Structure 1
């Protein structure tokens, strides 16, 4: 009897001790990610929720109405900073023009978000760590400086040149081109020239245009303290770079420093049961199954030019499969009887449905990752930003096709759809890639959270940072050494050429003099 009581008491003490330890290790984390597309929240929120489940308190700053059921997450909404929502019609605007418009607005949007009253009130609170969106939001580094705490970058895409350098993982434009370019691996000589030029322009833009302008504006508006180092220097002090990439599935594989944490597919999850009415509609498709068509959250399907819409309606209406079409309006003219319109749908529950035969998509990174996770072949019709890059990559890997809008015809579209649904090699490839993506030692959320807690535990984990972050570019790439070698080689060659010329001239004179002497 007394033994049982002693056991219960001991267990109670142990549980209380564990609770005390957990509470002691709990951190207050500021996750400031107000700028980006709505889908970017699918990368940030799973990390925030996993941190909250581990008893950390997360203040989540976003530009969209976002809710979380976890009591440890406080959402702070910053309105009117969603520049992606104000983009022009992407079907009629060149993608580089659209990207240029984003860059032009980013400085003002960053300052606007930082100066918002709800954000400024956070200066009066205490935090142990700051997590920031990577791209073009360096004005929020002022929080990390004021709080004297480590900061971590999160990036819902792959790293571009300027940010790869900040991570201490210099880019390799000879291997992997920016997603801004319509290139694929292996790169040709012309491709390497274009890739190198793009990376150089990206670095020059950030280091010589955007960052200096943002730093001046932030100080002028008294949002950045006077004692704060230059933003261009401060941005190199990131403890981690959490990126939306699956390390074991990258092509080409690249070398990375320990500060780069791959959490690709952090948003992917097993499918859940669909709403009853939708499930019944899908079940009615029978053996042929159904097709899902979505252009994501950034692109409005209703912006489709009439010539494209007409082809899509004709082809989809001619199929024996039912088609679930994500459409941002209530109705559509000449809607075929086998097509159902939805404004929103739980995409992963659709992609994981056993009757789904094909996913027609714009080719956004989140959509292609979800298709990989659920083992669904895709037909990509890219529109803007990284979508062309993503879909060329998918096609090269052999589990989907890319069809450009300018090539959209009845025969082309129908041919791609039928081939993708019937080609066993494509189905086998996408199922194999699904197995590869799921075969990880721990979930992406657990992996990313482990490293966040590692940074907290080791006060910034500065020992992980590569010295490549701190040395000048000409030392990193041995430009001074190569310059010396080139100059030395040129001088040596010139000297040898001069000596050879003098010796040869002397020999010729000697020979001529000898012949002249013999004749005399």
Structure 2
């Protein structure tokens, strides 16, 4: 028996790796993705350490060890940031996309500094520990990527919103602004001339602002908090694998270099049994259920009275039941068919066959979960990628979108009625769900395979494209274009003078001697 246990231990440690995960975004939805990935690795037998804003109340029961380092200073920091700037839901919705680039690049890195300055994180940095891989969520926290260099491990990036400027530049991925819109613009293809113009200008702003302001400030944080910290230019473009929370069923198909891997839906689990009160509520809804949630960062309770009343009046006239994630203790004017809760098991609810409509803010987790379960949506997008996700739902025919500014009783009721009575939305949602599920390998298994692949192949440098080693002017062929322009101008100038000389010789009148007449 002892020999068997010894053999099992050898097998475990022979295939077990030590993996550090850094998921600093002070947002529950971001944490859900990071923790799901690390739990999957721990269940596979790897020993994981997770740096985040939240942590697990109870350590998960997994084959490998699971250790939390919780940076409590991060909790609620995004909400505090918006309160500090006196930005309500309507202000956030109408935030100019050009200003939002500067706003996020100025505010969020300050929040992320709390990670590197945290006492427990500093103890880890100054310890003798080594890791086989470091996974960092990409969210305006580029300085934290230096921990991969510090611990001598391959760097793996998790993008919670698919391809975007933040990750494309790290791995030399082409993203022509002619047909790859910036995620915070809410554009889908084909874009109009005006949209392509705005998209090009915003892409240029990203490039300039990050190299002029964001990267230098992140470099200063590396030098301040990490002993013998590397230069950020040696960190940014040293990414082994990018795990993309995207898929052709949920995102526009765009180019990917070999080390960018789609894993959308990796956090989704098989539905669990619901609490008894919810199970009875859903089971007894013979006319169906509408599920309403604005996610983890936005709150339905923050709706202005006009918008809230528009929703309540519409719900009060429906025969369907409504399950509403409402964050306050009471809802004035609550209709009888509406059930409230401050927290709801969203995935398990969407799996119930009686759910006919999901009213959502359009965050990518909610979007991927509703596609997974084939439930049509009515999106009320506010910030970030939500407008793009909402537009994608409209373009693919499995939902409608309604601006927060347009949330009147008439328009809200019309949208709800349209989705509930027109079968095309549910049909398209089911078709989209089929595409989402039709994969050779499940998304979690795909993610784990590529993480282990990067570990096995010492960072997998053979997947690295040459673009990341080129200076920006060479990547954009500015030196080649400059040379061609110079040659062309030289040819024109030389041709001009040659023609001028030839013409002068051909058309000049020969001098004649005048003869005097007597």
TM-score by length of 1: 0.90
Q: Give the equivalent residue in structure 2 for 1:78.
A: 71
- Paired residues of 1:363 and 1:390 also in contact (CA < 8 A): yes
CA distance in 1 between counterparts of 2:494 and 2:26 reads: 59
Secondary structure at 2:292's aligned position in 1? strand
Q: Give the equivalent residue in structure 1 for 2:241.
A: 240
1:110 Cα offset (Å): 2.4
- Paired residues of 2:294 and 2:361 also in contact (CA < 8 A): yes
Q: How many residues align structurally?
A: 498
CA distance in 2 between counterparts of 1:403 and 1:501 reads: 66
Identify if the C-alpha distance between structure 1 residues 101 and 471 changes in structure 2 by more than 3 Å, giving closer, same or farther.
Answer: closer
1:140 Cα offset (Å): 1.9
- Paired residues of 1:242 and 1:448 also in contact (CA < 8 A): yes
- Paired residues of 2:106 and 2:214 also in contact (CA < 8 A): no
- Paired residues of 2:146 and 2:235 also in contact (CA < 8 A): no
Q: Give the equivalent residue in structure 2 for 1:311.
A: 310
**Is structure 2 residue 11 aligned with structure 1 residue 38?**
no
Secondary structure at 1:92's aligned position in 2? helix
1:342 Cα offset (Å): 0.9
CA distance in 2 between counterparts of 1:289 and 1:480 reads: 63
CA distance in 2 between counterparts of 1:245 and 1:446 reads: 15
Q: Give the equivalent residue in structure 2 for 1:259.
A: 259
Q: Give the equivalent residue in structure 2 for 1:473.
A: 472
- Paired residues of 1:240 and 1:260 also in contact (CA < 8 A): yes
- Paired residues of 1:169 and 1:256 also in contact (CA < 8 A): yes
1:243 Cα offset (Å): 1.6
The aligned runs of 1:13-52 (5 Å cut-off) are 17=7, 19-52=9-42
Secondary structure at 2:339's aligned position in 1? strand
1:498 Cα offset (Å): 4.4
Secondary structure at 2:230's aligned position in 1? coil
Secondary structure at 1:211's aligned position in 2? helix
**Is structure 2 residue 131 aligned with structure 1 residue 127?**
yes
Q: Give the equivalent residue in structure 2 for 1:157.
A: 161
CA distance in 1 between counterparts of 2:504 and 2:397 reads: 66
Q: Which runs of 5+ in 2 are unaligned?
A: 513-518
CA distance in 2 between counterparts of 1:430 and 1:342 reads: 26
- Paired residues of 1:49 and 1:70 also in contact (CA < 8 A): no
CA distance in 2 between counterparts of 1:75 and 1:217 reads: 23
1:398 Cα offset (Å): 1.2
**Is structure 2 residue 274 aligned with structure 1 residue 274?**
yes
Identify if the C-alpha distance between structure 1 residues 202 and 84 changes in structure 2 by more than 3 Å, giving closer, same or farther.
Answer: same
**Is structure 2 residue 131 aligned with structure 1 residue 139?**
no
- Paired residues of 1:161 and 1:170 also in contact (CA < 8 A): no
CA distance in 1 between counterparts of 2:254 and 2:507 reads: 58
**Is structure 2 residue 395 aligned with structure 1 residue 402?**
no
- Paired residues of 2:174 and 2:255 also in contact (CA < 8 A): no
Identify if the C-alpha distance between structure 1 residues 363 and 41 changes in structure 2 by more than 3 Å, giving closer, same or farther.
Answer: same
The aligned runs of 1:154-303 (5 Å cut-off) are 154-219=158-223, 221=224, 223-226=225-228, 228-247=229-248, 249-251=250-252, 253-286=253-286, 288-303=287-302
Q: Give the equivalent residue in structure 2 for 1:95.
A: 95
- Paired residues of 2:133 and 2:154 also in contact (CA < 8 A): yes
1:505 Cα offset (Å): 5.8
Q: Give the equivalent residue in structure 2 for 1:3.
A: none
- Paired residues of 2:102 and 2:209 also in contact (CA < 8 A): no
CA distance in 1 between counterparts of 2:481 and 2:101 reads: 36
1:218 Cα offset (Å): 3.7
1:291 Cα offset (Å): 0.3
Identify if the C-alpha distance between structure 1 residues 407 and 462 changes in structure 2 by more than 3 Å, giving closer, same or farther.
Answer: same
Q: Give the equivalent residue in structure 2 for 1:390.
A: 389
TM-score by length of 2: 0.90
Q: Which runs of 5+ in 1 are unaligned?
A: 1-8, 515-520
**Structure 1, residues 464-510: CA drift from partner, whole Å, max 9, x if none?**
11111111122222221122222222332343344445555655556
CA root-mean-square deviation: 2.3
Identify if the C-alpha distance between structure 1 residues 247 and 456 changes in structure 2 by more than 3 Å, giving closer, same or farther.
Answer: farther
- Paired residues of 1:292 and 1:359 also in contact (CA < 8 A): yes
1:144 Cα offset (Å): 1.9
1:217 Cα offset (Å): 3.8
- Paired residues of 2:131 and 2:152 also in contact (CA < 8 A): no
CA distance in 2 between counterparts of 1:289 and 1:501 reads: 85
Secondary structure at 1:103's aligned position in 2? helix
- Paired residues of 2:222 and 2:230 also in contact (CA < 8 A): no
CA distance in 2 between counterparts of 1:244 and 1:477 reads: 28
Please say which of residues 336-345 and 419-428 is displaced more in the overlay: 419-428
Please say which of residues 99-108 and 392-401 is displaced more in the overlay: 99-108
1:234 Cα offset (Å): 1.3
- Paired residues of 1:316 and 1:323 also in contact (CA < 8 A): yes
Q: Give the equivalent residue in structure 2 for 1:517.
A: none
**Is structure 2 residue 425 aligned with structure 1 residue 426?**
yes
Q: Give the equivalent residue in structure 2 for 1:5.
A: none
- Paired residues of 1:292 and 1:360 also in contact (CA < 8 A): yes
Q: Give the equivalent residue in structure 1 for 2:120.
A: 118
CA distance in 2 between counterparts of 1:464 and 1:108 reads: 33
- Paired residues of 2:138 and 2:166 also in contact (CA < 8 A): no
